[in-house]
Amino acid sequence: MALATIHSGICGFTTRVQATLADDGRHVDLAITSNCQAVQELAAALTQVDPFQEITYRGAGPKTLAMAPQHLRHTACPVAAGIIKAVEVAAGLALPAEARIELSS
């Protein structure tokens, strides 16, 4: 299992992702909670993914990124990337480590 907490930035929204390897060993189940309505809509539609599809742009590409434009309103929203990072860890395809974007002016 992997847990990710995503602080989206100036909007002030926080998303929590729980990614768990499914019983079939080939998929990752997602439980996503957020105080952002757009992310809540994405969460309702994105409950299970194939981790090998999520980590490449080849073929159909990541389901998370395909569904993001249908629900999320800002292309710079880090939630989709955070979901994919949690999927990688849950599937044993990456080690858990903090990912960060620091902005300043």
Query: Is the residue at 42 inside a domain?
Result: yes
Query: Is the residue at 97 inside a domain?
Result: no
Report pLDDT for 27: 98
pLDDT tens digits, residue range 25-63? 999 999 999 999 999 999 999 999 999 999 999 999 999
Report pLDDT for 20: 98
pLDDT tens digits, residue range 73-90? 999 999 999 999 999 999
Report pLDDT for 18: 98
- Count the Cβ atoms, other than its own, within 10 Å of residue 20: 17
Which residue segment(s) compose the domain that 62 sits in? 2-90
Query: Is the residue at 98 inside a domain?
Result: no
DSSP H or E run through 32 = strand 28-34
Strands 14-21 and 2-7: antiparallel
CATH number of domain containing 18: 3.90.1010
Query: Is the residue at 101 inside a domain?
Result: no
Number of domains the chain contains: 1
